Amino acid sequence: MSALSISDRGEGRTYDVVVVGAGFAGMYMLYRLRGLGFSVRVYEQGSGVGGTWYWNRYPGARCDVESMQYSYSFSDELQQEWDWTERYASQPEILRYANHVADRFNLRPHIQFDTAVQACAFDEDANSWSVTTSDGGTATAKFVVLATGCLSNARKPDIRGLDRFKGPVYHTGNWPHEEVNFTGLRVGIIGTGSSGIQSVPVIAEQAKHLTVFQRTPNYSIPARNAPLSGEDRAAFRKIYPEVRRFAREEAKNGIYTEVPDRGALDDGDNERRCKYEARWARGGLTFMSVYNNLALDKGANDTAADFVREKIAETVEDRATAKLLQPTSYPIGTKRICIDTDYFETFNRPNVTLVDIKTNPIEEILPHAVRTGGKDYEIDALVLATGFDAMTGSVAKIDIRGRDGLTLNRKWAEGPKTYLGLMSAGFPNLFIITGPGSPSVLSNMIVSIEQHVDWIADCLSFMRDGGLGTIEAEPTAEEKWVAHVNEVAYTTLYPQANSWYMGANIPGKPRVFMPYIGGVGPYRQICNEVAAKGYQGFALTTPERARAAAVSGPRLLSRPASARMRRPATSPGNTDKVRWTISTIAPWSAWAIASLAQPETRRDHPCGSSGPRTCGPSDDSAPYVRASRRDSTTRHECRSGYLRP
Ligand SMILES: Cc1cc2nc3c(=O)[nH]c(=O)nc-3n(C[C@H](O)[C@H](O)[C@H](O)COP(=O)(O)OP(=O)(O)OC[C@H]3O[C@@H](n4cnc5c(N)ncnc54)[C@H](O)[C@@H]3O)c2cc1C
């Protein structure tokens, strides 16, 4: 029996670990923990595995990271044997893949479907979590892992009259399992984010008429989807080791692509245009990595935004419609960039109408129409492509109570607070996969999921081996991380958009930039370094100390000597080397590590200021974040070599 087991290894609803959610994150977490010998129960509110791909069955749904990369890397046999049929797999194919993984690795016996976790309460005496589920049961677990997904809480808009609509109403994020046929129907769709952009061309082909209600136009790049041949797959499989290594360790967004070595304004007009044309022709998300400063420099960003606006104007025949479809109110890439198949072309069809609901918001929904701008648009069916309460929505639906009965919702009332996006102070032994404060939605999410899962699995092994009782984020480490996440975000253009990254799509949600923008590779190194230093910034306790802390308050917690001296197996051995690597990759991350490690020795810059806001590294090879912006309100280069060894 493992040191962590608190009773009967799974029987009688007592487990080492409860995992909430059976999407890609929950499935891989289960796989790793079972492999390590932990008893695990996964609760999934849906009737099957796949998460996002179980729920989002709308017409045109597919991934926007190429399938050869939007897939697990943990099993070489799996990645060598699974045949993706298209450059971007469709939802049914990704769901088949998820089911294949569940069967191949025998995961189903440990997953309880059709069961939502409703509440989790930390019992400070027993030093464990009590988990209440929708079937009326309660389970007890030493650890809880929230694999609840960043985009899993579909957002139904609050529009007057919506409940009185007589026709069917569909949400893209909760699409029926049976086929939906729009043939001969007048369909309305509200929302032109990624799901809207994917579904509009497909619905338009079927419907008698499609009315698209648009509040904010989006930048979208052609996907250039195509079948993958056996040769395509074979060629890719040969370079898989390097693709996966790069995605994990070097990429900013977890995608294998060329590293841009110059900024957009370093090229002349013609050269720049040629590069944008080439990326447009190639298609896909890598359009945004043609230059290294599109997310940092408004002037640079404008060149890419202008290019896309021109393409929209060239594609859409009606000038007024083209103008409405051109985004102007935020920099390109600062809302999730979309990729599409014939989205803009669809507005040339005679059966498609675009309606601007920014100028004239929807007044109400009538039994057979949508009323806006004093006009009624008659429809038979309504599609809501209104997105999600992103990153925190599914966590917030669970009543989570930590120390002293503090609820996570109360703690996060002004925005989510985590250390590394993995844990929140006051909630011991509760982990979040791809939580706010980690790269998550700014990345190829399977790369980020695997990184978090591996880190958590290593951490739990470490705790078991050391006979430890609890792990908990230290409030000071959390505060610094939150400040760092914010500060990094505000060195970029991202906060200039009212995006769901900021919580701006949910009325009343605090405006906080939630994901960590410092880059997947640097972030991984920060996490590794934290682990290598005995989980620096986390308080670790033996069961006895945890009980003492329960009596005297959490401030008694401290890191025991055993924690400081041991390293998890996968941790890098040479932390100086790690720090050096990070400083050459991302000044933000180098700052983060130094700040977390030794706040008392943090030096001011020669330029008279301190912190990442003021300095880039002296090494120009930093591929993504070279400080090319000399705007005194955001960042400038004093080139001090700050934090270099
Ligand atoms: C349409 C769409 C396309 C996308 N395309 C891409 C892409 O191309 N590339 C990319 O990187 N990312 C993409 N994403 C993001 C996608 O969410 C992630 O890639 C990934 O699938 C997330 O996996 P997950 O397991 O973390 O979460 P999810 O897949 O969301 O799974 C979470 C699961 O938890 C369950 N759950 C939540 N709360 C509870 C509860 N209280 N009790 C029980 N169960 C619960 C949910 O039912 C769900 O099944 C896309 C998202 C959408 C919506």
pLDDT tens, residue by residue, 96-118: 999 999 999 999 999 999 999 99
Q: Which domain holds residue 627?
A: 573-645
Note the pLDDT tens digit of each residue in 42-97.
999 999 999 999 999 999 999 999 999 999 999 999 999 999 999 999 999 999 99
Q: Which of 447-461, 501-515, 601-615 has the lowest mean pLDDT?
A: 601-615
Q: Is the CB of 19 under 6 A from ligand 1?
A: no
Domain assignment present for 565: no
What 3 state SS string does 448-475 have? HHHHHHHHHHHHHHHHHHCCCCEEEECH
The answer to whether residues 468 and 531 belong to one domain is yes
Domain assignment present for 395: yes
The answer to whether residues 545 and 412 belong to one domain is yes
Sheet containing strand 362-366, edge to edge, reads 362-366, 369-372, 375-378
The answer to whether residues 427 and 537 belong to one domain is yes
Structure tokens at 413: 């009332």
Question: Is a pLDDT exceeding 70 seen at residue 626?
Answer: no
Question: Is a pLDDT exceeding 90 seen at residue 192?
Answer: yes
DSSP codes joined into one string, 425-445: TT-TTEEETT-BTBSGGGS-H
Q: Which of 178-182, 550-554, 604-608 has the lowest mean pLDDT?
A: 604-608
Structure tokens at 151: 């985009």
**Average pLDDT value for residue range 336-356:** 97
Ligand 1 atom at minimum distance from 395 CA: 38
The answer to whether residues 502 and 580 belong to one domain is no
Q: Is the CB of 152 under 6 A from ligand 1?
A: yes
Q: Is the CB of 195 under 6 A from ligand 1?
A: yes
Q: Is the CB of 439 under 6 A from ligand 1?
A: no
The pLDDT, as a whole number, for residue 478 is 96
The pLDDT, as a whole number, for residue 547 is 54
The pLDDT, as a whole number, for residue 55 is 98
Domain assignment present for 268: no
End residue of a domain, out of 488, 520, 552: 552
The pLDDT, as a whole number, for residue 442 is 92
Domain assignment present for 343: no
Task: Find the helix or strand (DSSP H, E) in which 141 lies.
Answer: strand 138-146
The answer to whether residues 521 and 624 belong to one domain is no
Q: Is the CB of 144 under 6 A from ligand 1?
A: no
Residue 550's pLDDT band (boundaries 50, 70, 90)? low
End residue of a domain, out of 552, 584, 607: 552
Beta carbons within 8 Å of 250's beta carbon, 6+ residues apart = 259, 521, 585, 623
The pLDDT, as a whole number, for residue 314 is 98
Q: Is the CB of 532 under 6 A from ligand 1?
A: no
The answer to whether residues 48 and 88 belong to one domain is yes
Tell me the C-alpha distance between 189 and 483, whole Å.
39
Mutate to test the pocket of ligand 1, among 54, 66, 91, 148 (most ligand atoms within 8 A of CB): 148
Q: CA nearest 588: which of 545, 638, 535, 526?
A: 526
Mutate to test the pocket of ligand 1, among 19, 31, 47, 52 (most ligand atoms within 8 A of CB): 52
**Average pLDDT value for residue range 189-212:** 98
Tell me the C-alpha distance between 14 and 7, whole Å.
7
The answer to whether residues 517 and 394 belong to one domain is yes
The answer to whether residues 438 and 548 belong to one domain is yes
Domain assignment present for 69: yes
The pLDDT, as a whole number, for residue 247 is 96
The answer to whether residues 603 and 515 belong to one domain is no
The pLDDT, as a whole number, for residue 339 is 96
276 vs 620, more confident: 276
Alpha carbon of 625 to ligand 1 centroid (Å): 29
The pLDDT, as a whole number, for residue 551 is 52
Alpha carbon of 628 to ligand 1 centroid (Å): 35
Look at ligand 1, atom 52, and give the residue with the nearest C-alpha. 52
Tell me the C-alpha distance between 316 and 313, whole Å.
6
**With contact defined as beta carbons under 8 Å apart, do 28 and 450 qualify?**
yes
Ligand 1 atom at minimum distance from 173 CA: 53
Ligand 1 atom at minimum distance from 21 CA: 34
Look at ligand 1, atom 30, and give the residue with the nearest C-alpha. 149
Q: Is the CB of 188 under 6 A from ligand 1?
A: no
Question: Is a pLDDT exceeding 70 seen at residue 12?
Answer: no
The pLDDT, as a whole number, for residue 423 is 98
**Average pLDDT value for residue range 252-278:** 95
Number of domains in the chain: 2
**Average pLDDT value for residue range 280-289:** 94
Question: Is a pLDDT exceeding 60 seen at residue 609?
Answer: no
Domain assignment present for 283: no
Residue 566's pLDDT band (boundaries 50, 70, 90)? very low
**With contact defined as beta carbons under 8 Å apart, do 194 and 336 qualify?**
yes
The pLDDT, as a whole number, for residue 7 is 38
Ligand 1 atom at minimum distance from 447 CA: 11
Cα distances from 349 to residues 206, 312, 345, 484, in angstroms, run: 12, 15, 8, 48
Q: Is the CB of 65 under 6 A from ligand 1?
A: yes
User: Any idea what DSSP says for residue 260?
Assistant: P
Mutate to test the pocket of ligand 1, among 152, 218, 446 (most ligand atoms within 8 A of CB): 152
571 vs 26, more confident: 26
End residue of a domain, out of 552, 582, 616: 552
The pLDDT, as a whole number, for residue 498 is 86
Q: Is 572 exposed, middle or buried (0-12, 13-18, 19+ CB in 10 A)?
A: middle
DSSP codes joined into one string, 593-629: HHHHH-GGGPPPPTTS--STTT---S-TT-TTT----
Residue 635's pLDDT band (boundaries 50, 70, 90)? very low
The answer to whether residues 479 and 585 belong to one domain is no
Longest distance between any two alpha carbons in the chain, whole Å? 72
Cα separation of the two ends of the chain: 45
The answer to whether residues 545 and 577 belong to one domain is no
Q: Which residues pair with 62 in a beta bridge?
A: 90
Alpha carbon of 24 to ligand 1 centroid (Å): 7
Give the pTM.
0.87
Q: Is the CB of 24 under 6 A from ligand 1?
A: yes
Domain of 135, CATH number, reads 3.50.50.60
Question: Is a pLDDT exceeding 60 seen at residue 588?
Answer: no
Mutate to test the pocket of ligand 1, among 20, 65, 151, 446 (most ligand atoms within 8 A of CB): 151
Residue 507's pLDDT band (boundaries 50, 70, 90)? confident
Q: Is the CB of 26 under 6 A from ligand 1?
A: yes
Q: Is the CB of 153 under 6 A from ligand 1?
A: no
Q: Which of 199-213, 215-229, 234-248, 629-643 has the lowest mean pLDDT?
A: 629-643
The answer to whether residues 475 and 519 belong to one domain is yes
Q: Of all residues in the chain, what percent carry a pLDDT higher than 70? A: 82
Which residue reads 């898989």 in tokens? 240
Domain assignment present for 412: yes
Q: Is the CB of 591 under 6 A from ligand 1?
A: no
